[in-house]
Amino acid sequence: MNSFKTSAGTARTRAALAAAAGLALLAGCTAGPDFRPLATPASATVLAAAPLSTASAVTALGGAQHLTAGVDLAAPWWTRFGAPALDALVDEALVASPTLAAAEATLRQAQEMQAAQAGAMQLPRVDASAGSQRQRISPSAQGLAGEGRSFSQYSASIGVRYTLDLAGGNQRALEALGARTDYRRYQLEGARLNLAASIVGAAFTQARLAAQIEALQAIVHLQEEQLHLAGERLRLGQAAHSEVLALQVQVEQTRASVPLLRQQHQQSSHLLATLAGREPTAQGLPTFTLHDFTLPAELPQVIPSEWARQRPDIQGAQALLHAANADYGVAVSRLYPQVNLSASLGSQALTTGALLGGGAAVWSLIGQITQPLFNPALPAEKRAALAALDAAAANYQGVVLEALRSVADALRALDNDAHALAAQAGADAAAQGSLQSMQRQYALGSASYLQLLSAQQQAQQIRVDLVAAQAQRLQSSAALYQAVGAGWAGAPQAGNGG
């Protein structure tokens, strides 16, 4: 080591360190603006424009739904549909999903990176070193007489390095890391909500398809019976061949639609298994019917400020905005002086035994102040960081607006679907009444069997449409829960980890 200091050099070093300490006391501030969350765009008009209650339709699912501010948004909303098998499947998926496992691992990675950078920036770095070298000195190289001599030199030392955070650049860098860690946390929560919503939606789809398959199979059976009677009438000369062919076309078209629905039903089962972390053909997976579900009587009506805090994607966008704000502070801090301190203590000797002797001790203490005078890259980096901050602010506003649109769509869909279901329920009731009337007429001999078959087909076809309307109302209710970010207990404000 070549770090011996004279007394004059030591005095200058101490003066430099004193000046650096004075700068540190004077600095006392952090470069860049402190982060302040942006105000949520005017959303009260959108939320207030929704109807306070939906139309009533007396079906197996239930009647009217009411929007109320008393709904607990932190509770698992899928339990409000009254299907224990669905609750168990969602709970299983939240534990076994590979997608969530990947998101959790990404969060842990961000947390560890934040911890590593915090240790590197907030604490001094201490290194220990030891070494030996073999040298040969030739007197003739210095114009002296004599033979060259070879010797070994041994050294051991401990060095300490630390950078004073005068302008708060390190603090801003840690703040940015904390915000990005929060962003990963919000991403994980968003993935959980999306997973639960996907399972609930797939369960509703499976229930709808099962009911529609059952109704279509009944229609096929009725049409086959009608075709059989037409064939008998043709054999007796009481029907035209074209009538039989038309009925046959109708039967085959209806029969062809059943395998398509059955395929979709099987695909919904595969999707449910995959979402739950199982193989697509795994056994023991629950199957759902519309009779398994009930409509929740109360739906969430939230205050815009509470709703904005509830959605993980909005909180995640705010965390990215926080990180961009901190990055801008880092870029600003690079324009200010940088103070680096380093010190070392060790020993040098020609033999290992002499390393511990007092005469072998060597030390150094260095303080260095660097002030950028002309570096065209630094102002450009500051402008780039400011542009990134503007982009993050615009992205945040875009996420909020898109979230508002999803809430508005869900609220309107609730009301429209309720009216549609009410109309379909009325049509189903009328069709059932017509069928009962036709059955009485057939029993009295005033209506033919063909008329009875036609009435039965009409009732089954209306049942297909009713099933679709029931499933859609379930889907819309789930969409509102997802749109308001329900089912999430909440997380720390963005950036508090830094």
The pTM of the full predicted model, rounded to 2 decimals, is: 0.79
Residue 256 belongs to a domain: yes
54 torsion bin: left (phi>0), alpha (psi -120 to 50), beta (else) = beta
What is the SS3 string spanning 186-239?
HHHHHHHHHHHHHHHHHHHHHHHHHHHHHHHHHHHHHHHHHHHHHHHHHHCCCC
Structure tokens at 63: 């009647």
The helix/strand/coil state of 297 is: coil
Q: Rounded to whole angstroms, how far apart are CA atoms 407 and 390?
A: 26
Q: What is the CATH number of the domain that holds 246?
A: 1.20.1600.10
How many domains would you assign to the chain? 1
In a domain, 490, yes or no: no
Q: Would 315 be classed as within a structural domain?
A: yes
In three-state form (DSSP H/G/I as H, E/B as E, the rest C), the secondary structure along 468-495 is HHHHHHHHHHHHHHHHCCCCCCCCCCCC
Question: Is 356 within a domain?
Answer: no
pLDDT in tens, the chain (498 residues): 343 333 434 444 344 334 444 444 444 467 778 888 777 655 544 454 445 455 554 455 656 788 887 778 888 999 999 999 999 999 999 999 999 999 999 999 999 988 888 877 777 777 788 777 877 777 766 666 666 677 677 777 787 887 777 777 888 888 899 999 999 999 999 999 999 999 999 999 999 999 999 999 998 898 888 788 778 777 777 777 877 888 788 888 888 999 999 999 999 999 999 999 999 988 888 999 999 999 888 888 766 666 777 789 999 999 999 999 999 988 888 888 888 888 887 777 666 666 666 666 777 788 777 778 778 888 888 899 999 999 999 999 899 888 888 888 888 898 888 888 888 888 988 988 988 888 888 787 787 788 888 888 888 889 999 999 999 999 999 999 998 888 876 533 333 333
In a domain, residue 296? The reply is: yes
Q: Domain span at residue 324?
A: 31-126+167-336+375-483
Burial 56-93 (b: 16+ CB within 10 A, else e): ebebebbeebebeeebebeebbbebbebeebeebbebb
Q: Could you tell me which of 248, 492, 286, 299 has the C-alpha nearest to residue 407?
A: 299
Looking at the domain assignment, is residue 342 inside a domain? no
Chain center to CA of 361? 58
Q: At what angle do helices 169-235 and 449-483 cross, to 10 degrees?
A: 180
Q: Do the domain assignments include residue 145?
A: no
User: Per the domain annotation, does 362 fall within a domain?
Assistant: no
